[in-house]
Structure 1
Amino acid sequence: MELFLKGDTANVAAGLEFITQKLKIKLTSDGYPIQVKQVQGPLRITSSSGKGEISFAKPIHFFRALGLWLENYRKNHEFDITETPQFTMSGVMLDASRNAVPTVHEVKKLLEHMALLGLDTLMLYTEDTYEVKDYPYFGYMRGKYTIKELKTCDEYAETLGIDIIPCIQTLGHLREALKWNYASSFKDTDDILLVDKTETYEFLESCLKAASEPFRTNRIHIGMDETFQLGLGKYLEEHGYEHHIDIMNRHLQKLVSITDKLGLQPMIWSDMYYPLFAENSPYKDETGNIRADIMNGIPPIEYVYWNYYRNEQEVYEQDIQKHKLLGGKPIFAGGAWTWNGLAPNYGKAISTTRAALSACKKTGVEQIFVTLWGDNGAETPFVAAYPILQLFAEHSYQQEVTLEKVSERFAFCSDGTFADFMNLRLLDETPSVMKDNMNSSMTSKVLLYQDILIGLYDENVRGLSLGEHYQRLAAVLAISKKNNPAWEALFGLYEQLATVLADKAEIGIKLKSAYENKDFEQLKALLTVLDSIKANVDLLRQKHRSLWFAAYKPFGWEVMDIRYGGVITRIDSVKYRIQEWMEGRISEIEELAENRLYHDGPWEMADGLVGGNVYHRIVTAGSFSL
């Protein structure tokens, strides 16, 4: 379609060059005339009597409005639609620290998509995957971004009306950064920095300078979450026991002195301050407020309340009110559940997002973002989060949101069928798993990686007919792949995963039964099935590899090769063990002779399956390290 945009286009002209290509439109003087007005207030789109209008306040609103205008023009040439932004900031946090580091090209594609959705902020989560020139081992062989690469991303974001906020860690979650000898003098535990050490703050000042330098914004997320062992390592040896709140406050004061020096405005994850909120907290006074002496020890800073686990709106409302005890309104971080394992957990993401964002609107939270974590290897391609980004975007511009509306907008913005994407949840939301998979069962990851001979989870899946479930799902996903040509590679990956699991899900149970019954004919048949599984796993690896190298830097894929390779080579050993026994060279197969137990941890049980997204606990009861 050809459009003639006239009026207030100066502030969006640079970004239009990229968005028009994405939307497949041309700007010409002979095109359909649209008057563009940059004014305060809601965004508005109209079309009537052969001409249109777009009104917007911020550039990001214009890009959303342009897409919205085109979508509605295709349906009906006459319309008048107004949307009111619900938040002053609505964005995405992209994890670039769990082996998968998106390329600059892929970040640009994400920024274009965010512009179309109207999401105005991107946080790049980089624990050690950014360049700190004073510490060459920081991010060594991890695919870290150079300062030039980050500047390129920021400049591209600026044309689209998007801010990129660096998101780093300045206390914990630094295991990969601290494993080298350079860090030995300022390491408390394996992944936590040593508070009060001069070298620690020299290191952190270098990190803060390096992380903030490429970006226009002065905002920075400095992390500090989940430091449960704070003060319990080298710090304990040197200073004795001290409550983590006191250590946190002192560390935060020193960090803020650095950010003040650098002209930065920091925010932190709020969870380590949760003890301040408890009803019986010794940190509260008789009025129920946090004691003045404690508050005086916490420097002015923004707090990010993260919660993507509950589907009760009142839980979020209560937590937001508790955060106000720290002064001001918290920033809210929800989750797209791209870290469930190999497949996205859409059920939980939708359920928690609905509850959380309704609570944010009700309680006056002004800033939100959705996290795309990649725990334990980033096995789920982050683009699988696009349906949830659409949900966040619609909540960002409307008070009430239906999945029907999300589905309509997803079809336009992502060129995909929302219902087909929802089929991906069935890879983990299997028989016996509760509705919306609220307990985060990661069935597909467990069944792909668990050892065929040892079968740590065989008792958990016995009787669930998961082979039949995955066989049916493979056929469903084959249809979804045809329905979504723009997403053929993604659906092809998950179709192949279902194909693998159709045979592999219960192969261990079948082998043990045939072995115990000395059913040699069945064992011979299963040897053929093992060959099929091996071939299909390798094809799965290749499909996954293609997606990875199209989106990420190469560093980190070696982990996936090792995981897939482990499945493949173990099949060789399984066949070897079975043939040795069938041919009488060994008297028993000890792995199959041992009684199977219901998996009992170390993670919480989840609806008959296991909810721990940790590869090394799936594949063996042994140890991967000394």
Structure 2
Amino acid sequence: MDKIKSLGVMLDCSRDAVYSVETLKTYFDLLAKMGYDSVQLYTEDTYEAEGEPYFGYLRGRYSKAELKEIDAAAKERGLELIPCIQTLAHLGGLTRWREYWASCTDTGDILLAGEERTYRLIEHMFQTCAECFSSRRINIGMDEAHMVGLGKYLDMHGYRNRFEILSEHLRRVGEIADKYGFKPMMWSDMFFRLANKGEYYCAGGNIPQEAIDLVPENMELIYWDYYSQDKSHYDGMIKAHKQFRNRIVFAGGAHSWEGFAPFNRYSIEATRAAMRSCAENGVDDVFFTCWKDDGAECSLFASLPTLFCAAEFARGNYDDEKIAAKFRKLTGLDMDAFFALEKINLCESAGEIKNPCKYMLYNDMFLGIYDRTAIGHSGQEFAEARRYLERGTQSRRFGYIFKTLASLCDVLEIKFTLGLRTREAYRPGDKQKLLGLAPEYAELERRVQKFYKQFRAQWDRECKPNGFEKHDIRLGGLKARIGHCREMLEEYCAGKRADISPLNEDLLPAEEEKDGCSVLTNSWLHTATIKPLM
């Protein structure tokens, strides 16, 4: 490799989807052929921990036997399987249980630093990792613990400098890592945030000495960055990280966590800039994250173009034509076929990430929170996007991914503008026009059901059954809501309802974008409901 000595992938196995052992073996085959040498399984509470029955309870956690099988499969393919866990925050699947919130939770999803029950739990995590993984590298997490020390810790100890809290906790976790022979790495953002009023990106800024002294010298720092296509941005952040005495690992992103479709074109350009910067600035250990925020809706295999390009860039090959030819040989599909997956998000360029395919799927037809996105559109954009997916649906290996998004295109062809058209007919009292929309609501119910079956088939092919209950609720609820809205329209037109109050309200902008422009928002809860909090 051209100045890149280690190249890995991190798979998110914690956002509802826990990938089956067979899926991982298939994925490892592809990674090995591309030239990767390591894999991290991001498991918050989705693995077995001795003496912790609620750890991963009902989450589809990997058993010790499964972890050992996965480790052996990786080793057979020349891959180092590196445990990737959390030892401070992002443990909401765990802290929901009384066993943990009553004894070792600070606030939200953050463990209670300084509490002995916390360190017994973390020791049990390390016991599993030591028993089941051949590697003695470990990612201990510790990212985005924004509220550390401000919940139960504050009640117990009063306010303390949070650098000190983090330092003491990190020392205890480091001692446990040493006990089991692990060399730890951790995400770096908390050191930057505590030093820069919550901000992570501070290229060119000076890091306070207290932050530098906080990090044990044997701790590798992971500089993660997924949102820039500007090489100078990465240059500046690497320079900022080099103020620490620690070895730096870079983590890029294969964007597949903003809904049902990947963003390969954006990710490839961001990766191109990042890899050039890493090579020039002496960062030779790199991996790429495949996060799956808010439900793991995007197929694990949809990001193959990004990962393939990253591997080629690591070898110094930036020739797009040569890369495309090699990709076709590996997968049997052109990169353009995979790029067509993005058309469902109406993205015109490789420089934007907007996800209307998710938020307009769940956007309520009567509340219309995001209906201004649809102004000036007809819905036919999705019929056109579907045509671009046709070639991919013929693939024996990956056709199911394209079929899922083709089915979603069918849904959005109607639903994208249906709420807007309903309001436009209702406000002047055009009941004849409203009645004419009722069959579209009925057809939309049928299309949602078809999409549900296709998406469920995709999930069953890649994942354990656990976690899909969330999508049963989301899509089942969507179908029920469509039917309810249709019935309300029919009742209103028949004179059985005086009005439909949500449709009486003027639509306000939900975001800063202009009418007709898409946005990026990735919360089902904030899209489907108007009051998401208790």
Please classify the TM superposition score into its range, dividing by the shorter chain length. over 0.9
Shift, 1:95, TM fit:
0.3
The aligned residue for residue 574 of structure 1 is 485
The aligned residue for residue 142 of structure 1 is 59
Q: Give, as a single letter, the amino acid of the residue that structure 2 aligns with 1:459.
A: R
The aligned residue for residue 361 of structure 1 is 279
Give the direction of change, closer, same or farther, for the CA distance of 1:606–1:513 in structure 2 (3 Å limit): closer
Moved more, 218-227 or 297-306: 297-306
Contact 1:212 1:220 in 2 (8 A): no
**Which residue among 449, 453, 456 is the counterpart of 2:362?**
449
Shift, 1:605, TM fit:
9.2
Contact 1:339 1:373 in 2 (8 A): yes
Q: Does 1:250 align with 2:168?
A: yes
Q: Give, as a single letter, the amino acid of the residue that structure 1 aligns with 2:488.
A: R
Q: What's the CA shift string for 1:450-495, capped at 9, x where partnerless?
A: 11111111123212x150211211122224424x343221111111
Shift, 1:436, TM fit:
2.3
1:550-565 matches, cutoff 5 A? 550-565=461-476
Secondary structure of 1:555's aligned partner: coil
Secondary structure of 1:251's aligned partner: helix
Q: Give, as a single letter, the amino acid of the residue that structure 2 aligns with 1:608.
A: C
The aligned residue for residue 592 of structure 1 is 503
Contact 1:323 1:329 in 2 (8 A): no
Asked which structure has the greater CA Rg, the reply is: 1
Superposed CA RMSD in Å reads 2.1
Distance 1:260 1:605 in 2: 54
User: Which protein has the bigger strand share?
Assistant: 1
Secondary structure of 1:505's aligned partner: helix
Give the direction of change, closer, same or farther, for the CA distance of 1:209–1:185 in structure 2 (3 Å limit): same
Q: What's the CA shift string for 1:410-440, capped at 9, x where partnerless?
A: 111122111111111121234xx7x3253x3
Shift, 1:213, TM fit:
1.9
The aligned residue for residue 235 of structure 2 is 317
Contact 2:24 2:70 in 1 (8 A): yes
The aligned residue for residue 69 of structure 1 is none
Contact 1:344 1:385 in 2 (8 A): yes
The aligned residue for residue 416 of structure 1 is 333
Q: Does 1:532 align with 2:443?
A: yes
Shift, 1:515, TM fit:
1.4
Give the direction of change, closer, same or farther, for the CA distance of 1:228–1:353 in structure 2 (3 Å limit): same
Distance 2:239 2:196 in 1: 12
Aligned-pair identity in percent equals 34
Contact 1:336 1:388 in 2 (8 A): yes
The aligned residue for residue 28 of structure 2 is 111
Shift, 1:132, TM fit:
0.7
Give the direction of change, closer, same or farther, for the CA distance of 1:534–1:592 in structure 2 (3 Å limit): same
Contact 2:130 2:180 in 1 (8 A): no
Give the direction of change, closer, same or farther, for the CA distance of 1:415–1:513 in structure 2 (3 Å limit): same
1:212-291 matches, cutoff 5 A? 212-275=130-193, 290-291=208-209
Distance 2:113 2:465 in 1: 34
The aligned residue for residue 545 of structure 1 is 456
Q: Does 1:477 align with 2:389?
A: yes
Q: Give, as a single letter, the amino acid of the residue that structure 2 aligns with 1:411.
A: R
Contact 1:599 1:610 in 2 (8 A): no
Shift, 1:275, TM fit:
4.8
Secondary structure of 1:413's aligned partner: helix
Give the direction of change, closer, same or farther, for the CA distance of 1:473–1:275 in structure 2 (3 Å limit): closer
Distance 1:294 1:364 in 2: 22
Q: What's the CA shift string for 1:136-166, capped at 9, x where partnerless?
A: 0111000000011010011111111110000
Contact 1:171 1:223 in 2 (8 A): yes
Shift, 1:243, TM fit:
2.8
Contact 2:3 2:282 in 1 (8 A): no
Q: Give, as a single letter, the amino acid of the residue that structure 1 aligns with 2:177.
A: T
Secondary structure of 1:384's aligned partner: helix
**Which residue among 450, 458, 467 is the counterpart of 2:379?**
467
Distance 2:137 2:490 in 1: 63
Higher RCO, 1 vs 2 (CA within 8 Å, ≥6 residues apart)? 2
The aligned residue for residue 103 of structure 2 is 185
Q: Give, as a single letter, the amino acid of the residue that structure 2 aligns with 1:89.
A: S
Distance 2:215 2:385 in 1: 52
Contact 1:336 1:385 in 2 (8 A): yes
Q: TM-score, normalised by structure 2?
A: 0.94
Distance 1:526 1:444 in 2: 22
Contact 1:416 1:486 in 2 (8 A): no
Contact 1:313 1:355 in 2 (8 A): yes
